[in-house]
Amino acid sequence: MVDETLARSFEGIGSEYERYRPGFPAGAVELLAPDRVGTILDLGAGTGKFTELLIGRADRVVAVEPSTAMLDVLHAKLPEVTALSGTAERIPLEDGAADAVSVAQAFHWFDREPACAEITRVLAPGGAMALIWNRADPACAWDRSCHRIVHPAVGASDDTTRAAAEELPGFRFFRHEELTWREVISRDDYIGRWTTVSSFLVADEPRRAEMLADVHRVLDEHVDTAGRAELDLPHLTDVYLYRRA
């Protein structure tokens, strides 16, 4: 079951999400759409972190997002994209409208059965779907320590991607790729990033202050981050690819 409180915690943030959250590697788009297609739907698009990579891969890019705050940022940033208010369970597109569908950092929030039914409805026969997640590199000890502080649900082993089951209703799984990349991020922005995760957003003020103090302590004490204004942060990105059955 999706935790509705956590799922809805993002609805009030837009500019913060855009500023602090990481992007995605271009290789993820190449896996979904190696050749140009007619229409790509980015579902649960947020502020367009993944959507922006789709421009140039399709004649038409459509972004669907339930948060008005995030959709406003996406619309201002990417005016060439058709930005629509909607959810995975109620997609405001006609049958077979999309040649490919991307879901970046969002599928675990969906109600799986109705979402899969809606995606198959709007996806053209034989069309591809990519489920994409960024996750921490387990080799980066200081980042994992911060995960355990602020986002303990994925602190020990990030199993968010378990939502990408090999058997999804209406789809045939055909490929999984793990992409590695690095990001140079300021210490301030790294700390700000933690203020945009669901577990922080739903916490009370004393707990939030405690979380941030503990993150500062990790960065102050770890040999790879102590005294540094910029941090070298590794990422892993999982891409799960499906075809409409």
- 3-state SS, 217-231, equals HHHHHCCCCCCCCEE
The reply to whether the predicted model has a pTM over 0.75 is: yes
Q: Is the pLDDT of residue 159 over 80?
A: no
Binning pLDDT at 50, 70 and 90, where does residue 235 land? very high
What tokens appear for 23 in the block? 């992007």
Q: How far apart are CA 208 and CA 197, in angstroms?
A: 11
pLDDT at 17 (0 to 100): 86
Where residue 24 falls (left for φ over 0; alpha for ψ -120 to 50; beta otherwise) is: beta
Tokens 């939502």 belong to 163
- Which alpha helices (H) appear in the chain, and where do they start and end? 4-8, 15-20, 26-32, 51-54, 68-77, 112-122, 141-150, 187-194, 198-201, 205-221
Q: Which three-class secondary structure state does DSSP give residue 76?
A: helix
pLDDT at 161 (0 to 100): 79
Taking only the tens place, the pLDDT of each residue in 57-71 is: 999 999 999 999 999
